[in-house]
Structure 1
Amino acid sequence: MALFFDAAWFDAALAERGLSRAVLAAAAGMSEAELALAYKDQRELSAREVAAFAEILGVSAAEVADHAGISTPAPRAEPAADALARLESLERRVAVLEAELARLRPG
């Protein structure tokens, strides 16, 4: 378990997927400035952000929490009543990722 935000691990995980910090921030509903603060250990991730990072990086929330520092909460299961809000959030993230991919594609 990391004691501090493991920026190298997060950057390597992003690089493996061809993604940028900007995409990670957008997928988690964070500004790039907020993400920069997390990278510098000046801001903790919320459980929702941990879950979003895990989803986009293709790892478990526990692994994200381990690399984000010891006091970062692991997300808990969401009640069924929040399913629609979660779906809408995921749809927004997909739209952001699709826009980023379109921008990166030549031609």
Structure 2
Amino acid sequence: MALFFDAAWFDAQLAERGLSRRVMAVAAGMSEADLTLVFKDQRELSAGEVAAFAELLGLAAAEIARQAGVSTPVPGGGPEARITALERRVAALEAELARLRR
């Protein structure tokens, strides 16, 4: 079980970006019921879910893990983690390019 999941922090991050918990669940490949359990500290996030939240919110996976609880795994090492990190960087660059074009 995650320790000290900061639901208010996650809700604030979502609100700041105009997103909902439903969008967060979809982005992580979770059901809304599973996400509700996460927000209630009754289910721990997987490394993949941490990575998905980080990508959605544009934050480092370590920050997501910290806010989700110290026992939550942080993605790292291995080819899959490198691909995920590169995909996040590309997404961030594309978002910045779109912002600059506006």
Tell me how far 1:79 sits from its aligned partner: 1.4
Distance (Å, rounded) in 1 between the aligned partners of 2:33 and 2:49: 14
CA-to-partner distance for each residue in 1:60-93, whole Å, 9 max, x for gaps?
A: 000000000110000114416x95xxx7xxxxxx
Distance (Å, rounded) in 2 between the aligned partners of 1:52 and 1:3: 19
Q: Which stretches of structure 1, 4 residues or longer, exceed 4 Å deviation after superposition? A: none
Distance (Å, rounded) in 2 between the aligned partners of 1:12 and 1:33: 20
Residue correspondences, number: 82
Aligned to 1:47: 47
Unaligned runs of 5+ in 1: 88-107
Instruction: Check whether the contact 2:50–2:75 (CA below 8 A) recurs between aligned residues.
Output: yes
TM-score for both structures, normalised by structure 2: 0.74
**Matched letter for residue 21 of structure 2:** R
* Aligned-residue RMSD, C-alpha: 2.0
2:35 match: secondary structure: helix
Tell me how far 1:3 sits from its aligned partner: 4.0
Distance (Å, rounded) in 1 between the aligned partners of 2:62 and 2:14: 17
Aligned to 2:21: 21
Aligned to 1:68: 68
Distance (Å, rounded) in 2 between the aligned partners of 1:7 and 1:62: 16
Instruction: Check whether the contact 2:3–2:41 (CA below 8 A) recurs between aligned residues.
Output: no
Distance (Å, rounded) in 2 between the aligned partners of 1:18 and 1:68: 20
**Matched letter for residue 6 of structure 1:** D
Structure 1 vs Structure 2: percent identity of aligned residues? 71
Distance (Å, rounded) in 1 between the aligned partners of 2:63 and 2:57: 10
1:67 match: secondary structure: helix
